[in-house]
A and B are shown apart, each in its own frame.
Chain A
Amino acid sequence: MKGFEFFEPTTLAEASRLFAQEHAQLLAGGTDLVIGMKALTETPQSVISLQKIPGLDGITTEGDGISIGAMTKVREVELSADIQNHHTALAEGASEIGSIQIRNLATIGGNIAHASPAADTVAGLLVADAQVDIASADGERSVAIDELFTGPGQTVLAPGEIITRFRLPSPASGSHYIKHKIREVMDLAFIGVAAAVNLDNGTITDARIGLAAVAPTPIRATEAENLLRGNELTAELLQQAGEAAAAAASPISDLRCSAEHRKEMVDVLTRRTLQEAVARA
């Protein structure tokens, strides 16, 4: 790594001020930043650790909703009973990141802020309709998760802005996340699909489908969702939803996977996640 100055601020305001300067990067768990610094794709002159700022981690329930601090370890998200029960797709997504070693360091805030279209927690947050709380030295604001990303590795965060919290409003009846990969663990997602449904007597009152690694940003398959809303899940509807989701995807070909293969898998995995989500509901 190239040399850098290391800061451990104890307040968000201080962190934000430092982060707003040029050539500064935030250190949450280090599993993206430290790898980037070793590869020299990241060469910050200042590294600002968030680890000493109180109140940024932890999972709490607020009525029907769940609040996840941005510095919460991915492993904690994976193991949280509340998240497993009410936002299963998110817990499953968290469990797909790297290895246990990685998940004990990585944070959900880091996974989202790094803004890879293939991030494993993003699809689960999309279908949970998560709100992203953001803080800076100038104040706070909140952004819906599906408005956070502007491109691969890019977000709406202004200089100095730090993600502090994810608020998941209300649980789905059932949700599921599937990551398409080659090895069982330690693989980046070729694609990631999450589906969450709310059921009332067998009718889908709400459906949310989140797709990762198939477009420049993570996306919701809104056409597919519209097809499902208000209906029962028949085999025919399932097929239509899968096709609609695949149509929403605009994946690239890369050394991991071809674009055609990715599109095909969006169809297959949308159907599988929907079936499982409905079964769990």
Chain B
Amino acid sequence: MASWGEASESRLIGKRVTRLSGKDKVTGKAKYTFDINEPGMLYGRILRSETAHATVIGIDLSEAEALPGVKAVIPLIEVGNKLRYQGQEIAAVAAETDDIAKDAIRRIHVDLEELPHVVTEDDAMVEGAPQIREDWAGNQSEPNVREDGDINAGFDEAAVEVEATYHTPVQTHVCLETHGHVAKWEDEQNLTVWASTQGVFGVRNDFAQHFELPANQVRVITEHMGGGFGSKFGPGIEGRTAVELARITGKAVKLMLTRKAEHLVAGNRPSMTQQVRAGATSDGRLIAYDMKGYGTGGISSGAGFTGPYVYHVPNSRAERVNVAVNAGNQRAMRAPGHPQGAFAMDSLMDELAEKLGMDPVEFRRINDPNEVRQAQYTLGAQEIGWHRRNTVPGAGTSVKKRGMGVGSGQWGGGGGRGTEARVTINADGTVEAVTGTQDIGTGIRTVIAMIVAEEFGLETTDVRVKVGDSQPGLPSGGSGGSQTTPSVAPVIKTAAAAAKQKLFERIAPLLDAPVGDLRVGTGTIYVVSDRTKTITWKQATGQLGMESISEGGTWEEDLRQNGAAGTQFAEVEIDTQTGAIRVIKIVAVQDCGLAINRLTTESQVNGGVIMGLGQAILEERFMDPVTGRMLNANLEDYKVPGTLEIPEIKSIVFDTHRKVTGVGEPPCIPTPGAIANAVYNAIGVRIRSLPITPDKILDALAEKA
């Protein structure tokens, strides 16, 4: 059975290791898709709808085509078809400069017949609202119902009940590098595309299919990319458009989205409104849960969210409906469905706990079947100083009030098959590791180097890692679902182990020892039964002469595990006169299985917490019901956390087992619930709608008064 070995035996694995590729990033040498410049390259731009709902009557490209410097103009929608959200693609241009391309799209004239639109769930669901999807009467999908046990019997047993409605708005990913591609046809049958993507092979396969090319004649490169968070799978219309413009013009074409378009069409986290009724027994057991919920994922996509979540409730019913609005479609956003579900569930738990007169942590202990989290509650409560917490929420007369709250999360992250990798040992002692995964900022490059270096007794800087290129033909899955490390690490490990075995077989005669007696030291290979028999790594590989050793790996399931439990405790301070909220401290206890690189794991936890903080107190897409447009499609009024919003973060990487689990998503799940509960503890009024902004706090305080 494959294993990572004991922690005490590990030289690199589990330690904090400096990121490879870091040097290129800190010197500005790293080339992201946005940075690619090819000789003779043209700039592509897309004309996008400013109307939320309209039929296209006519498109006149002639003035754009006539503009000097314009090399191609193509429609992206057929006359007679409908535009169904602001931002939808109408036409595209390729021109010699970016400014000419932008001038050109302004010269495309579109005749539209405007149609009535709805851009909020309330407007979409109201009686008599215009139907914007043929197949959804009332703009709603058929309800999806899940039932467990018998909720009526459950409520009969309940000693306390809570009825509440929780709401989270649409959020956008705000990747700092927008979506985009640089496409270049090497010849009629060979295509190269630099893509800002989380899935090099997914994009490759899409292009191959769409443009009818053999898959091995499409090369997709993502050496570095500026954030995805779930939104960058598949090339999108903009990717196919870049390739098409490149095909028509015979030149490389760079087509990147503007920040505005990024907000409008590059995906979002759907909204959620949950009406819940739940009950608990007098001894603190969750007994019944009845939820009706809806959300919008845009014009043609769904709005999933969890509920019930994390805690065990034997009798439950959850009915979910998706609502269509004239807005851009959702795309997976960091732990899809979970943070909003966690916010609702953790708020509900605290409301029930209060009715029972129980401490929120104790109430969770009774109802949380996960043993890891039981230990995490203890650790987290201690670290935040849970005993200092307000016993009476909102107590005191000071203007600034503090409070603490707790939230939980559960994720998978076990990885999957589908990664091919190759580890090569050269005769000069150099080592290479290649696979088709992409480093979207997780540090997988470094993790790969660490695993190989550990296996061979080398330093990470001795390992040359190649990822983010489909050309070597070693596929890997997309970097989503926190799958990268658990999918890739086992394959790299087994490939390295196989290569090491082959090397041992070559040099065993030289050391006059059986192959099974050979071990690696730091830069050496020695015989375990006679330490005097030792050679350096270079001496060993020198034996290969003109040959190299190159081995592939397999996805050994025992090297990874599904299931990442987490809990977070938050402390906040509220100015009760202005409603200003300040998050003071977050303690994040996160199970990430075997954390191969502790440094990058901590980074992931911190980053996840801040994204959760943004969801809790800052982020919201505003739609204008009158014009049907997004009012804050920019970074001025769509607010993401900055350096002055960040609390003290204590990340506790909670090692539970020596198996790899992905950690990209879990840390953003518990945060909004923990913060919302802390707000209640501070001021004694509950905000059930995110983001928790000053005006909501003041309204709630005024109502209480």
What is the bound-complex CA distance between A182 and B622, given in angstroms? 16
Residues of A with C-beta under 8 A to B632: 255
Say whether B578 contacts A180, CB under 8 Å: yes
What is the bound-complex CA distance between A269 and B617, given in angstroms? 22
- Beta-carbon nearest neighbor of B632 in chain A: A255
| Closest Cβ–Cβ distance, residue A195 to chain B (whole Å) | 16
Residues of B with C-beta under 8 A to A256: 637
A141 interface hit (Cβ, 8 Å): no
- Assess A184 versus B639: contact at CB under 8 Å? Given A257-B695, A268-B577: no
| Closest Cβ–Cβ distance, residue B258 to chain A (whole Å) | 10
Of the candidates A185, A255, A258, A268, which one forms a contact with B637 in the assembled complex, judged by CB atoms under 8 Å apart? A255
Say whether B636 contacts A188, CB under 8 Å: yes
How many residues in B have their beta carbons less than 8 Å from beta carbons of A? 21
Chain A residues touching B, range: 20 to 34
Residues of B with C-beta under 8 A to A143: none
- Interface flags, B638-660, vs A, CB<8A=1, else 0: 01011011000000000000000
Of the candidates A184, A188, A268, which one forms a contact with B578 in the assembled complex, judged by CB atoms under 8 Å apart? A268
| Segment 64-108 of B: residues with Cβ below 8 Å from A | 99, 103
Residues of A with C-beta under 8 A to B176: none
CB-based A-B contact count at 8 angstroms: 42
A265 interface hit (Cβ, 8 Å): yes
What is the bound-complex CA distance between A80 and B632, given in angstroms? 35
Residues of B with C-beta under 8 A to A180: 578, 694
Say whether A183 contacts B99, CB under 8 Å: no
What is the bound-complex CA distance between A258 and B187, given in angstroms? 58
| Closest Cβ–Cβ distance, residue A111 to chain B (whole Å) | 16
Say whether B644 contacts A184, CB under 8 Å: yes
- Interface flags, A244-268, vs B, CB<8A=1, else 0: 0000000000011110010011001
What is the bound-complex CA distance between A85 and B694, given in angstroms? 31
What is the bound-complex CA distance between A257 and B637, given in angstroms? 12
Say whether A255 contacts B639, CB under 8 Å: no
B30 interface hit (Cβ, 8 Å): no
| Closest Cβ–Cβ distance, residue B309 to chain A (whole Å) | 28
Say whether A183 contacts B695, CB under 8 Å: no
| Segment 678-705 of B: residues with Cβ below 8 Å from A | 693-695, 698
Residues of A with C-beta under 8 A to B358: none
Of the candidates B631, B636, B637, B645, which one forms a contact with A184 in the assembled complex, judged by CB atoms under 8 Å apart? B645
Nearest 6 A/B pairs, CB to CB: A184-B644, A261-B695, A268-B577, A255-B631, A255-B622, A183-B639
- List 30 A–B pairs whose Cβ atoms lie within 8 Å, in order of A's numbering: A1-B99, A3-B99, A3-B103, A180-B694, A182-B617, A182-B618, A182-B639, A182-B693, A182-B694, A183-B641, A183-B642, A183-B644, A183-B645, A184-B642, A185-B642, A185-B644, A188-B636, A255-B622, A255-B631, A255-B637, A256-B637, A257-B695, A258-B695, A261-B579, A261-B695, A261-B698, A264-B698, A265-B578, A268-B578, A269-B578
Q: B residues within 8 Å of A by Cβ? A: 99, 103, 577-579, 617-618, 622, 631-632, 636-637, 639, 641-642, 644-645, 693-695, 698
Given A255-B637, A268-B577: 9 more A-B contacts, CB < 8 Å: A180-B694, A182-B693, A184-B644, A188-B636, A255-B631, A255-B632, A265-B578, A268-B578, A269-B578
